[in-house]
Amino acid sequence: MLSLVLPARSAEPSGVAQVVAVHDTSSNPFLLPQSGKEIGDPFPEYWDGVWHIYALRSDLRTVLHFTSKDLVKWNEHKPAMVGKGIATGTVVRHGGKFYMFYTDAGPQTIRLVVSDNPWAFDFTKSKLVAQADKKVYQLSRRKFRDCYVFHNKTEKLWWMLVEATSDGAVAAGLFKSKDLLNWKLHDPIFKDKTRRHGSCPQAFRQGESWYLTCLDYGTWYYAADSVYGPWKLKGQYHSRHFTAASRFATDGKRRLCWGFFTRHKTPESKRGGYGGPLGVGREMVFSAAGSLGVRPLSELIAEIRKPPRNGKLFDCAKPLSGKWEIDAPKQELRYAGGGRGVLLLDLPENNPDYYFEAEIELSAPKSKAEVIVRTSEKLDRGYRIAIEPEKKKIAIRQAKSGGGAFNEKDFILTGGRTVKLQTFVWGNQIEAFVDGRTSLSARVLDRSGHKVAIETTGRSATIIKPLLHYFKYKKDK
């Protein structure tokens, strides 16, 4: 079920931006349209204090449109465009006009629709603006798509990047324009024969460096001194199973991005397929060394931390093994150590959806901690969110013994032996953010367990300021 409230009246200009639903992400952090149909490939924008998310319906016939001023409650508008074969693009505002660039999925070409407003684009008025020329860019792999348009202030020209094939390599193809209407082909700024995909490319400058992001079964990023390269691979900054999150919008102060939970092959399912809910919104963050990471939106976290929906976590804490001290006044759960300690949070409701956060202090390098969600008192089901400093790993795995991994990433603690965990569990989706700089995502099947457990091995450990927020109660309508 969707967590939404139909508004009595739209706050946007009448007759232009009709609102069909309002979605509160403090009640459901994973965004789906009112219809419940799965979506994908968000391409966000920001204008005049409003965040816009355009996204594709999974049948590639509709461009959906969501807006928010506070990044918590999102207005869903009437679709921005309806047609056929519509794939990823960009919406640009310039000179009082709005330009929607999109991929014509069939022939793999780039088309444009111009509108007087950001709410309605007439598919019948689209025009061809870019295509593979068979010389610089070929269609041998049917890759000429996912256009991203931005203004290069240094050159005083509009740039368009596309996922392309050039000389047998995956490429970020380049076109330039003075007016957004007429585009000239140029050599690619990036080529990599080791890549299978270079989807949804986006380039931007941060400090003295340029960054290039793209999707290839995980979202990768490269860095260079120039937007023309040469580019050096730096790694991944999203989960392997979190798709099309390389696009961001900026208000000039920070960069925010969204992705979606498409179907991937997992330890539970061999089924793949396009489309799913949008995941938790992310802010892109950079370390002093220039590495790229993500953290959940601060506005959403602030709303979640408000008392009304927060569970009485200390009242339902129940030691299963090891010696635990449950200290509600200090907001700490302390494990004395000496082996394996398990603390159960015996949640009072069946199959709840929730947010859990805590700081976890491990006393020794060989210690590890796991938060087990959707589990039982026997810990024989559900999913483990594991933090393993000795192995330098974090992961989402099946809880049962020998269960497979959904998402595993390299991770090195930087804050001594204390790590911050923020976990979103709603429906069949799980997202975990670690230390405000990396994320794990999984689309799961088993919802039969409703308890949460904390398991730690090694010497003593302290769970500091744990918080449990219910996204939805039984009593909610």
Measured CA angle at 278 (ends 442, 32), to 5 deg: 120
Structural tokens at position 351: 């199959």
The answer to whether 399 touches 379, Cβ cutoff 8 Å, is yes
Percent of the chain clearing pLDDT 90 (strictly above): 72
How confident is the model over 122-130, as a mean pLDDT? 98
pLDDT of residue 256: 96
Chain segment 226-242, per-residue pLDDT in tens: 999 999 999 888 877 78
Residue linked to tokens 């700081």 = 359
Provide the pLDDT confidence category of residue 415 given band limits of 50, 70 and 90. low
Centre a 10 Å sphere on the Cβ of residue 301 and count the other Cβ atoms it contains. Answer: 19
Asked if the model's pLDDT at residue 15 lies above 90, the reply is no
Q: Between 435 and 15, name the one with better pLDDT.
A: 435
Closest CA to 40 of 252, 270, 236, 277: 277
Q: Between 237 and 475, name the one with better pLDDT.
A: 237
CA 238, 244, 246, 250 dihedral sign is negative
Q: What is the mean pLDDT of the chain?
A: 90
Q: Between 422 and 406, name the one with better pLDDT.
A: 422
Amino acid identity of residue 411, one-letter, is: F
Asked if the model's pLDDT at residue 216 lies above 90, the reply is no
Provide the pLDDT confidence category of residue 4 given band limits of 50, 70 and 90. very low
How confident is the model over 203-213, as a mean pLDDT? 94
pLDDT of residue 3: 35
What is the Cα–Cα distance from 354 to 366, expressed in whole angstroms? 30
In the chain the domains, ranked by start, together with CATH numbers, are 4-300 (2.115.10.20), 308-472 (2.60.120.560)
Percent of the chain clearing pLDDT 70 (strictly above): 95
Q: Which residue pairs, CB below 8 angstroms and at least 24 apart, start in 96-99?
A: 99/149, 99/180
Q: Between 429 and 276, name the one with better pLDDT.
A: 429
pLDDT of residue 16: 60
Structural tokens at position 256: 């925010």
Indicate the pTM of the whole model. 0.92
Query: Lowest-pLDDT range, 50-54, 241-245, 384-388?
Result: 241-245
Residue linked to tokens 């179907």 = 263
